[in-house]
Chains A and B, each alone.
Chain A
């Protein structure tokens, strides 16, 4: 007779029947085998979009930010919306890498590598926007403290300067984390590739890794130290981004709930993007044995939890407007729900609050196709959230005489779609030339590698 109180059997994190050798073969062959045809087609599309981005940027530099739909009173539009959206997407990588590592969540092992790569590329795309949106983009470096003969020095009270430090620190630590994690796998590729040029390149990048006990000891120390450094960054970077808005005295921006609400939203959108990438990748490369149903379910649960926090954030904004009875706040929430941007507001509610409720149902969480659709919906919803926060707060501020409308232009669309192309192109290059799943960490998941007792 079965014990009714026993914990139900959880699906394995790696399908049975694998050995260290076959795990290594399976993951490294994605890089070492002939490039599939679909890769060329996908990369070509992404490359064309990058060309479109470059054209849009060249036109922007020639004409100025007037080609975007920004005006008075909406001086920030798609540019900062896209910045916050991309930074949010970049959030999941470090969460998976650092926090789940420190919490000993072993399911992270098969998704951390491409989640970290996704983080780097997303932060790269995000970093473009603050530079591009400047009226004089060629002097962007004035935001950095350096001994200038012109007496230029950043004003450290400005949240934009905090942004520079938060985002650049985040990008640096994320890169180091990703690269240090890659070193043992780069050595594996160096040893397995038959191409002499590739052997030299992988060899240089592997930095003389031989897998000795001393190497592993140093590796573990460095990896843990970087995880410790990266953990506060998971919270800090999007908190600082939220300060851009929270430190303004504008209704709809001036809110103490913004930092936790933004961090939860960032994790929400980050996991949505991980699912958006993981589901097609596992199907295309036949990696269902490594990125299993349990991984997808766990990510769906994280999305559900952070989605509920985000929903709470939306509700508390309305509640505090009503409870505080500040006429400007009351008008701001009424304008969001019933004003000229009501469609975008209700679309974001549908995308971010209603759609993820399906994830309560196990059958929904177990269907990769359904999860993929939900992840895309959440990605759209999170973009709309940032648009609504920025534009609806600005377009009707304190003075009715300065009210106005904002509409993005074709150049806004071209720049945004261009950065999607840049992100996709970088991802295509990454999956082609580097192991998208951590080979050595997957080997530690095998039964034969278990040297410690499973927690009871």
Chain B
């Protein structure tokens, strides 16, 4: 019998292992048919220091799947919502395209699809999760930068990583309670 309890899906990101190959970005675009000019996930590359003491830092980013999401709070029609497993989704049928959620998100994680006149974002590949698969970005990454799992399952790889390592979240002071954790 399958376990029907709600999940608490999250992702642990190890930027130190990232090569900036952008396979995750490409996989996301292909999997979700993301329109030209927009991305649901990205990798920022920051160079520090000056020659010969130079280091490069990779910073993969996406929707932080917050537990207290400002984007959901400001949506006037309830198109943005938190599903039973804690994933922030947009119901395109209810979205009127006011773009308030785009302005409210402190992580610039949403985009406006000019074709449909609605807003879209990372869904953690909800359709793949429903089929028992992991998000496209996770399975594509050659260096296992992104680890996806259920925080309420102590045996999930994500839970184990969080238990063993020091992690940080982005813009903690904004009170958004993100569920994307960065190994630090």
Residues A134 and B70 in contact in the complex (CB < 8 Å), given A64-B114, A250-B103: no
Bound CA span A72–B35, Å: 14
| Docked complex: B67-97 residues within 8 A CB-CB of A | 70, 73-78, 93-97
Among A134, A248, A399, the residue within 8 A (CB) of B117 is: A134
Once the chains bind, are B96 and A135 in contact (CB under 8 Å)? yes
Once the chains bind, are B96 and A134 in contact (CB under 8 Å)? yes
Specify which chain A residues have a CB less than 8 angstroms from the CB of B107 in the assembled complex: 398-399
**Is the C-beta of A42 less than 8 angstroms from some C-beta in chain B?**
no
Once the chains bind, are A66 and B75 in contact (CB under 8 Å)? no
Once the chains bind, are B42 and A401 in contact (CB under 8 Å)? yes
**Is the C-beta of A402 less than 8 angstroms from some C-beta in chain B?**
yes
Specify which chain B residues have a CB less than 8 angstroms from the CB of A103 in the assembled complex: none
Once the chains bind, are A136 and B118 in contact (CB under 8 Å)? yes
Shortest CB distance B64–A (Å): 11
**Is the C-beta of B129 less than 8 angstroms from some C-beta in chain A?**
no
Specify which chain A residues have a CB less than 8 angstroms from the CB of B119 in the assembled complex: 135
In the complex formed, the residue of B with least CB distance to A76 is B103
Once the chains bind, are B76 and A160 in contact (CB under 8 Å)? yes
Shortest CB distance B94–A (Å): 6
Once the chains bind, are B116 and A135 in contact (CB under 8 Å)? yes
Specify which chain A residues have a CB less than 8 angstroms from the CB of B98 in the assembled complex: 130, 133-135, 160
**Is the C-beta of A213 less than 8 angstroms from some C-beta in chain B?**
no
**Is the C-beta of A159 less than 8 angstroms from some C-beta in chain B?**
yes
Residues A134 and B75 in contact in the complex (CB < 8 Å), given A248-B70, A249-B104: no
Bound CA span A243–B131, Å: 41
Shortest CB distance B142–A (Å): 23
Q: Is the interface of B mostly helix, strand, loop or mixed?
A: loop
| Docked complex: B134-184 residues within 8 A CB-CB of A | 171, 174-176
**Is the C-beta of A182 less than 8 angstroms from some C-beta in chain B?**
no
Bound CA span A73–B103, Å: 8
The residue in B77, B96, B175 that gathers the most chain A C-beta atoms within 10 A of its C-beta is: B96
Bound CA span A66–B96, Å: 15
In the complex formed, the residue of B with least CB distance to A254 is B174
**Is the C-beta of A203 less than 8 angstroms from some C-beta in chain B?**
no
Q: How many residues of B contact A (CB 8 A)?
A: 38
**Is the C-beta of A158 less than 8 angstroms from some C-beta in chain B?**
yes
Bound CA span A209–B95, Å: 49
Bound CA span A106–B96, Å: 46
Specify which chain A residues have a CB less than 8 angstroms from the CB of B96 in the assembled complex: 134-137, 139-140, 142-143
Write the A375-403 contact mask toward B (1 if CB under 8 angstroms, else 0).
Answer: 00000000000000000001001110110
**Is the C-beta of A161 less than 8 angstroms from some C-beta in chain B?**
yes
The residue in B73, B76, B93, B112 that gathers the most chain A C-beta atoms within 10 A of its C-beta is: B76
Once the chains bind, are A75 and B103 in contact (CB under 8 Å)? yes
Specify which chain B residues have a CB less than 8 angstroms from the CB of A139 in the assembled complex: 96
Specify which chain B residues have a CB less than 8 angstroms from the CB of A73 in the assembled complex: 102, 108
Bound CA span A223–B182, Å: 62
Specify which chain A residues have a CB less than 8 angstroms from the CB of B174 in the assembled complex: 249, 398
Bound CA span A136–B114, Å: 10
**Is the C-beta of A155 less than 8 angstroms from some C-beta in chain B?**
yes
**Is the C-beta of A153 less than 8 angstroms from some C-beta in chain B?**
yes
Among A64, A152, A154, A158, the residue within 8 A (CB) of B74 is: A158
Bound CA span A157–B74, Å: 7
Once the chains bind, are A402 and B70 in contact (CB under 8 Å)? no
Shortest CB distance A164–B (Å): 8
Shortest CB distance B6–A (Å): 22
In the complex formed, the residue of B with least CB distance to A248 is B104
Shortest CB distance B108–A (Å): 4
Among B74, B93, B117, the residue within 8 A (CB) of A247 is: B74
Shortest CB distance B48–A (Å): 14
**Is the C-beta of A65 less than 8 angstroms from some C-beta in chain B?**
yes
Bound CA span A70–B117, Å: 13
Write the B15-57 contact mask toward A (1 if CB under 8 angstroms, else 0).
Answer: 0000000000000000000000010001010000000000000
Bound CA span A144–B8, Å: 33
Specify which chain A residues have a CB less than 8 angstroms from the CB of B76 in the assembled complex: 143, 154-155, 158, 160-161, 164
Specify which chain A residues have a CB less than 8 angstroms from the CB of B70 in the assembled complex: 248-249
Specify which chain A residues have a CB less than 8 angstroms from the CB of B95 in the assembled complex: 135-136
Specify which chain B residues have a CB less than 8 angstroms from the CB of A247 in the assembled complex: 73-74
Q: 19 interchain pairs (CB within 8 A)?
A: A70-B112, A130-B98, A133-B99, A135-B97, A135-B99, A135-B116, A137-B96, A143-B77, A152-B78, A154-B76, A154-B78, A155-B75, A160-B76, A248-B104, A250-B104, A394-B103, A398-B107, A401-B42, A401-B44
Question: Given A70-B99, A70-B112, A399-B108, 13 more contacts at CB 8 Å?
Answer: A72-B38, A72-B108, A75-B102, A133-B99, A134-B97, A136-B95, A143-B77, A155-B75, A249-B104, A398-B107, A398-B108, A401-B42, A401-B108
